[in-house]
Chain A
């Protein structure tokens, strides 16, 4: 068994042909993950006991001739902003250093019911706020492709574990690009589904109107299998959609000939040369498959960053008020009154970026500023969503870059928050519109740094995303 390149199908075949048992695979994955973690710091907590118990159940089902779930025996990493009953969930924050959730997120529940084996919880930017995973209170993650570089963020750990092969698939979360950008930096597939496609129950809230859970994988096919397991209506999340989950596997078998792909010119300005070259090579491959490339225009793109950082920080300042030193966080030791205790616990516990966003959010929502900032941003958000709706009247999907540049060096951008925010430009627009988007590897720079190509479609058209990505993967070279 070559654990580094395992696929979901290979796990299924290996179990069926008795090449390995689920327990053997789990033991090997755990051992390999512990060994690699010394290099990358991608996992914050290992859940070995739970993983082995789950693997034993898969082996028992196999021995009894019972049908196996679609993820049976598959090693999975879970981003540490997704709660797991009995397994510490830190959100990358010192405040939740000792937090052991009393329940499972719906996505985790569904994944485990399908036979998935949770190996551990993956490192991330504190409360998923960042683009490099350098904002974790537990130290940064190193990119397994180039250890002196960041893996992207905020789901840097979830991207790294799939890229280094210590998990076959993983769950991340995306608010403004936190799945697609690390997928691009680490060379794996990352999917941000339609808003509401996957229940947010048990995803620690960051910006509720923008938060998504989604899969990382080494192929579009495996990402589709994981999404089909976790997607669907959940009565515990009122914003989860009842829309039926499509048959992604059937969709992926369809050729892409005749599909119309939109190329927004606004997304190709200010792009690093090598990144642009890789995307254009990807486009050429899609053209050869019979796709028609059409120019589209997204005239409101240049206002997206500003609208996003108002909406996101406003929601942050509200959502993060629950971390107050009373119910589940650590508490400051040096406080005499209730108010002092709140303020000191939060002041000592939150990291620099979390505080920056809470402050910005509190400011834009404060008396006299609400109309000028929050309401204005929501109007701009409507215009950005309209740009996409308009484009999808003529095209089936949009092709764009994920990030203006490949993975950067650790420490390179950490002291310039505005520059870090601006680098999210190509992923933020899809998040604001709530449409499904995906990053697929489309090449590498001369130095070997992976580049991802972004595919965006209209609401609930994940089948089209997977179809394009899978056909592209089959014909990439």
Chain B
């Protein structure tokens, strides 16, 4: 499986990553190599196997719901404390709507 630089740019867009020209070249090479190795999976017939979506043990262990009681949550100040830019009790981001 060979990934083109064009495909790498498309995937970087999906992943919301700005990549440099060097990085695009490097990931085209690395991902192609890894995806080629992964083709190994095609040698295994799995047509009669259910996909394993979670680790298997008795459902009653994991499917339990907690009591529906209110908890105290983080204060506004605590929630904003790690924001790179905050103000007026909100996270601030660059302008979204054009006038």
Contact = CB atoms under 8 A, between A and B. Distances in A.
Given A98-B82, A324-B16, A329-B84, A418 B64 contact: no
A378 B12 CA distance: 25
A356 B31 contact: yes
Interface bin, chain A: 35 or more
Interface in B34-88: 34-35, 37-38, 40-41, 44, 46, 49-57, 60-62, 64-67, 74, 78-79, 81-85
A339 B64 CA distance: 39
Given A99-B82, A309-B34, A359-B17, A235 B66 contact: yes
Contact of A342 (B16, B23, B85): B16
B17 A347 contact: yes
Given A342-B16, A379-B50, A195 B55 contact: yes
A355 B61 contact: no
B17 A325 contact: no
B94 interface: yes
Nearest to A305: B37
Interface string B3-24: 1000110011011111100010
A337 B94 contact: yes
B30 A356 contact: yes
A292 interface: no
B16 A385 contact: no
Contacts of A68: none
B34 A241 contact: no
Interface of B: 3, 7-8, 11-12, 14-19, 23, 26-27, 30-31, 33-35, 37-38, 40-41, 44, 46, 49-57, 60-62, 64-67, 74, 78-79, 81-85, 91, 93-96
29 contacts: A99-B82, A102-B78, A195-B55, A209-B54, A233-B64, A303-B44, A326-B91, A326-B93, A331-B85, A337-B96, A340-B94, A346-B15, A355-B17, A359-B8, A359-B11, A359-B31, A361-B15, A362-B11, A363-B11, A363-B31, A366-B14, A373-B38, A379-B50, A382-B49, A382-B50, A385-B55, A418-B37, A459-B55, A460-B57
